[in-house]
Chains A and B, each alone.
Chain A
């Protein structure tokens, strides 16, 4: 399995502000993934974070809104910029381990007022 931690676990933010979410993995991984789960919805992939290169964003997500850093092989951050109530979601980071098993962090529950 994988031990993945996220900070913060939850936050309540004002419209127009930004929040940076941290994800720490217990061992080195090539790719880290950021997902969003809006209320009552399933998970949607935001972007793939590769160490040493720009993140790859999925359709509908842009770097200006969701800048990602990947300074080393065990850590990544996702920033939710200029937040609006529509950004209220659970944000999860994820990694693949051997045998193609994919593990998720505990999530960051964001509420934007």
Chain B
């Protein structure tokens, strides 16, 4: 079965610093989704990538999918306390998504 590994598991950065979260799949992905979750709450959709080499940006967050469609990165530029939360990647084929365990991001002011 397909598995998604996220790294790091947790990350603490100073406000204003850049950071990268990685997501690696054991199999080629049909699509790769990034979500943000605040503790104990639902998931906020950030971005979806489908094509190898694709890159999308929204405000200060950029996500990339590699050419082989097995690895994705989420990059945050000039982090702010509002970026704090748990970032989850999800991916797979058809409509059944498998999720990584999440990366907990803390941004210190």
Contact = CB atoms under 8 A, between A and B. Distances in A.
Do A and B form a real pair? yes
Interface of A: 1, 6, 31, 33, 41-45, 48, 58, 90, 92, 96, 99-107, 109
Interface of B: 31, 33, 35, 40-43, 45, 48, 50, 88, 90, 95-97, 99-102
Contacts of B95: 31, 33, 48, 96, 102
A92 B101 contact: no
A102 B90 contact: yes
Given A96-B95, A101-B48, A43 B42 contact: no
Q: Which 3 A-B pairs have the closest CB atoms?
A: A106-B42, A104-B43, A107-B42
A102 B33 contact: yes
Contacts, number: 52
Contact of A42 (B40, B42, B96, B102): B102
20 contacts: A6-B42, A31-B95, A43-B43, A43-B99, A45-B96, A45-B97, A48-B95, A48-B96, A90-B42, A92-B43, A96-B95, A100-B48, A101-B33, A102-B33, A102-B48, A104-B42, A104-B45, A105-B42, A106-B41, A107-B42
A106 B42 CA distance: 4
Nearest to A103: B45
A48 B99 CA distance: 16
A5 to B, nearest CB: 10
A15 B78 CA distance: 47
A107 B43 CA distance: 8
Contacts of B35: 104
Nearest to A39: B40
B101 A42 contact: yes
B50 A100 contact: yes
A109 B40 contact: yes
A13 B31 CA distance: 37
Nearest to B30: A100
B48 A107 contact: no
Contacts of B102: 42
B42 A92 contact: yes
